[in-house]
Amino acid sequence: MATWLLLLALAAYATAFSNPLACSGTCTDTHDPSLIRRSSDGTYYRFATGGGIDIYSSPSLTGPWTLQGEVLPNGSGIDSPGSDDAWAPDVHYIDSTYYLYYAVSTFGTQESAIGVATSATMAPGTWTDHGSTGVESVTGDDYNAIDPNLIVVDGTNYFTFGSFWADIFQTTLASDALAWSGGAPHNLELNATAPQPSEGSYVYQYGAYFYLFFSSGSCCGYDTDRPAPGDEYKIMVCRSEEVTGGYVCPYQLPDQFYAQTGGTLVLGSHGVVYGPGGQGVYDDPTYGPVLYYHYVDTTIGYADADKLLGINQIDFSSGWPVV
Q: What is the pLDDT of residues 148-171, one digit of tens each?
A: 999 999 999 999 999 999 899 999
Summarised one tens digit per residue, pLDDT across range 240-284 is 999 999 888 765 334 333 334 468 899 999 999 999 999 999 999
Which residues carry out catalysis? 32, 199
**Rounded to an integer, what distance in angstroms lies between the CA atom of residue 109 and that of residue 267?**
28
Does a cis peptide bond (omega within 30 degrees of 0) precede residue 81? Answer: no
For the chain, list the domains and their CATH numbers: 2-313 (2.115.10.20)
Summarised one tens digit per residue, pLDDT across range 9-42 is 334 344 479 999 999 999 999 999 999 999 999 9
Phi and psi of 11, rounded to 5°?
Answer: -65, -40
Give the pTM: 0.92
Q: Is it the case that residue 298 has pLDDT exceeding 60?
A: yes
CB neighbourhood size of 148 (10 A)? 25
| Residue 307 burial (C-beta neighbours within 10 Å; 0-12, 13-18, 19+) | buried
Residue 238 neighbours by CB under 8 Å, 6+ apart: 189, 211, 212, 247, 248, 249, 262, 263, 264
**Rounded to an integer, what distance in angstroms lies between the CA atom of residue 323 and that of residue 314?**
5
Q: What is the CA radius of gyration of the chain?
A: 18
Q: Are 275 and 232 in contact (CB under 8 A)?
A: yes
Mean pLDDT across the stretch 302-307? 85
Query: Between these two residues, 222 and 109, which has the higher pLDDT value?
Result: 109
Phi and psi of 40, rounded to 5°?
Answer: -70, -35
